[in-house]
């Protein structure tokens, strides 16, 4: 792999792409340290240490939210907009038609996602700034006669930061190497590793070794599962296209396969499950000190039940991830509409009739392989709970969601570099 990277730097165009990606990532990381004016930094750090939900959102901001910088929203609103568009496609016929129009349709859907990102970023900025105001971190935030200009400027700044981050990510995708949005998130996760290592070394140096072992084993398992796929053979029948003189022009008759990945859903089920699991506890925490005893008791129970410190949380989290994995995989698979695509193109699975039988066969295979992927994601999700039993702490060098992102981005970037090198007659990463 090191030799392949050296070979990539020898090529001027690849060297320019790699350097451009690194420069854009450095610029984003510098912007992530520019805080929004009027922030109580000490109170902000204390809040993030006690809130798992904010820690989840901090991942997608590339670590910028823990500083509440101008990039605090990061690319999270854009990811949310993209997920919403994916979920709405089966429900809205117009969106489904756009998805079937090829590259032009995908570009239109992408523009809609960009437009949807703006209000989502503004709402996210307002909600999180309001939360910080309640905690005494942003005392000048609020639509009052005295502070309304500060409020509007804060929301506009956070929204502009999101748009700028998405733009930088797309520049990396177009002129650099890898998926730009994923690389921005990747840079934020990796940038926090030294801080995490230093904190664990100070508190308990002996926990670092188990952390490293667990992380390495997890990375190995993620790589194996992420690359795992079931290849379903497909045969295309021969077709007569035209007649030239006394000879027929025949096309088709080729054999190929449909790759069904073990983890088709990626990290999306983790995001859904963790957001839902943390939301009730976050809401209940505001009513713990209510003057009404019943409300206070229910809020206290909900806070404990949905707290990561309890075992009930992790058991529920496990099954939530499994459920969302099946749900999201089914949504993605239905959007692809493989049985109809095969039938239109004259393809068929050997031994399976086209149409309804092909659909039933593919669904059966998908359900079986998704079960493996769901159990894998759920196992990765509860790793902090398992690590706590081994190392007497609930933290990890990288969160389970972060590990999936890091490994996925590295694999994707390696494949892109390998493809670029193979086009220029260099050996790739895998020999």
List the single range of 22-36, 193-207, 295-309, 364-378 with lowest mean pLDDT: 193-207
Residue 242: strand pairing partners: 249
199 versus 364: which is more confidently predicted?
Answer: 364
pLDDT per residue as tens digits for the range 183-220: 888 877 777 777 666 666 666 666 667 677 777 887 88
Residue with tokens 């493809």: 419
> What is the DSSP-derived secondary structure letter of residue 36?
P
Q: Report the candidate in 180, 171, 82, 166 with the shortest Cα–Cα distance to residue 413.
A: 180
Report how far residue 381's alpha carbon sits from residue 394's, in angstroms, rounded to the nearest whole number: 12
Task: List the alpha helices (DSSP H) in 285-310.
Answer: 293-305
For residue 338, which of 256, 426, 279 has the smallest C-alpha distance? 256
Closest CA to 230 of 49, 95, 90, 366: 366
Q: How far apart are CA 56 and CA 53, in angstroms?
A: 5
Alpha-carbon separation of residue 171 from 34, 122, 183, 364 (angstroms): 21, 23, 11, 40
The H or E element spanning position 234 is strand 229-236
Q: What does the pLDDT average to over 226-240?
A: 77
Whose tokens are 């690194």? That residue is 22
Give the integer Cα–Cα distance in Å for 209 and 197: 11
Mean pLDDT over 243-263 rounds to 67
For the domain made up of 203-398, give the CATH fold: Preprotein translocase SecY subunit (1.10.3370)
Render pLDDT for 155-180 as a digit per residue (tens, 0 to 9): 888 899 889 989 998 999 888 888 88
DSSP-based three-state secondary structure for 101: coil
Residue 282, pLDDT above cutoff 70? no
CA 76 to mean position of chain CA atoms: 9
Q: Residue 107's CB: how many other CB atoms inside 10 A?
A: 12
Residues 6+ apart with CB under 8 A from 370: 264, 265, 325, 326, 329
> How sure is the predictor about 430, in pLDDT bands with cuts at 50, 70 and 90?
very low
CA 354 to chain centre: 35
pLDDT score for 203: 61
- More confident call, 228 vs 246: 228
**Which pLDDT score is estimated for 263?**
84
- The segment with the largest mean pLDDT, out of 69-83, 257-271, 287-301, 364-378, is 364-378
Helix (H) or strand (E) holding 208: helix 208-227
248-262, 315-329, 364-378, 380-394: the lowest-pLDDT one: 380-394
What's the mean per-residue pLDDT of the chain?
A: 77
Instruction: Identify the pLDDT of residue 163.
Output: 92
For residue 381, the model assigns a pLDDT of 81
Asked if 253 contacts 236 with a C-beta cutoff of 8 angstroms, the reply is yes
- What separation in angstroms does the CA of 66 have from each of 72, 128, 153, 182, 321? 8, 11, 20, 19, 26
Structure confidence by residue, pLDDT tens digits, 27-74 = 888 888 888 877 776 777 677 666 655 665 665 565 666 777 888 888
Phi, psi of 91 (to 5 degrees): -95, -30
pLDDT value at residue 393: 47
**Chain segment 3-29, per-residue pLDDT in tens:** 666 777 777 888 888 889 889 988 888
- If you ran DSSP here, which 8-state letter would residue 250 be given? E
Question: For 79-97, what is the mean pLDDT?
Answer: 81
Residue-wise burial string across 125-138, b where 16 or more C-beta atoms lie within 10 A, e elsewhere: bbebbebbbeeebb
Q: Is 294 left (phi over 0), alpha (psi -120 to 50) or beta?
A: alpha
Parts of the chain belonging to CATH 1.10.3370.10:
1-191, 203-398
The CATH class that applies to domain 1-191 reads mainly alpha
Query: How many whole angstroms separate alpha carbon 1 and alpha carbon 7?
Result: 10
């Amino acid at each position: 792999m090191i030799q392949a990277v050296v070979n990539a730097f020898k090529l001027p165009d690849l060297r320019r792409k790699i350097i451009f990606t690194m420069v854009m990532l450095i610029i984003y990381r510098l912007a992530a340290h520019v805080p929004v004016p009027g922030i109580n930094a000490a109170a902000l750090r204390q809040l993030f240490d006690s809130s798992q939900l904010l820690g989840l959102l901090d991942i997608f901001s590339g670590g910028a939210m823990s500083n509440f910088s101008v990039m605090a929203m990061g690319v999270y609103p854009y990811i949310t907009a993209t997920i919403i568009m994916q979920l709405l496609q089966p429900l809205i016929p117009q969106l489904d038609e756009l998805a079937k129009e090829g590259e032009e349709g995908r570009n239109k859907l992408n523009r809609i996602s960009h437009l949807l990102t703006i209000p989502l970023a503004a709402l996210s900025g307002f909600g999180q700034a309001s939360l910080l105001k309640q905690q005494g971190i942003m005392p000048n935030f609020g639509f009052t006669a005295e502070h309304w200009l500060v409020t509007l400027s804060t929301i506009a700044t956070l929204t502009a930061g999101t748009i700028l981050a998405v733009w930088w990510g797309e520049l990396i995708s177009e002129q650099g190497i890898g998926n730009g949005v994923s690389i921005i998130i990747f840079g934020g996760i990796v940038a926090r590793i030294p801080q995490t290592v230093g904190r664990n070394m100070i508190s308990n140096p002996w926990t670092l070794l188990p952390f490293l072992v667990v992380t390495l084993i997890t990375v190995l398992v993620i790589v194996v599962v992420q690359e795992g796929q079931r290849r379903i053979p497909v045969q295309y029948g021969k077709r007569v296209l035209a007649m030239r003189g006394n000879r027929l022009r025949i096309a088709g008759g080729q054999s190929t396969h449909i790759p069904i990945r073990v983890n088709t859903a990626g990290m999306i089920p983790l995001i859904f499950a963790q957001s839902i699991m943390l939301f009730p506890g976050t809401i209940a925490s505001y009513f713990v000190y209510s003057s009404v005893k019943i409300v206070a008791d229910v809020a206290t129970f909900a806070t404990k039940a949905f707290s990561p410190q309890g075992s009930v949380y992790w058991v529920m989290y496990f099954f939530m991830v499994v459920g969302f994995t099946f749900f999201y995989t089914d949504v993605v698979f239905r959007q692809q509409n493989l049985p109809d695509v095969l039938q239109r193109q004259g393809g068929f699975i050997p031994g399976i009739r086209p149409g309804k039988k092909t659909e039933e066969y593919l669904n059966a295979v998908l359900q079986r392989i998704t079960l493996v992927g769901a159990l894998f994601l759920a196992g990765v999700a509860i790793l902090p709970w398992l690590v706590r039993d081994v190392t007497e702490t609930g933290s990890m060098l990288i969160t389970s969601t972060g590990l999936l992102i890091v490994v996925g981005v590295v694999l994707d970037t390696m494949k892109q570099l390998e493809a670029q090198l193979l086009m220029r007659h260099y050996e790739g990463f895998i020999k």
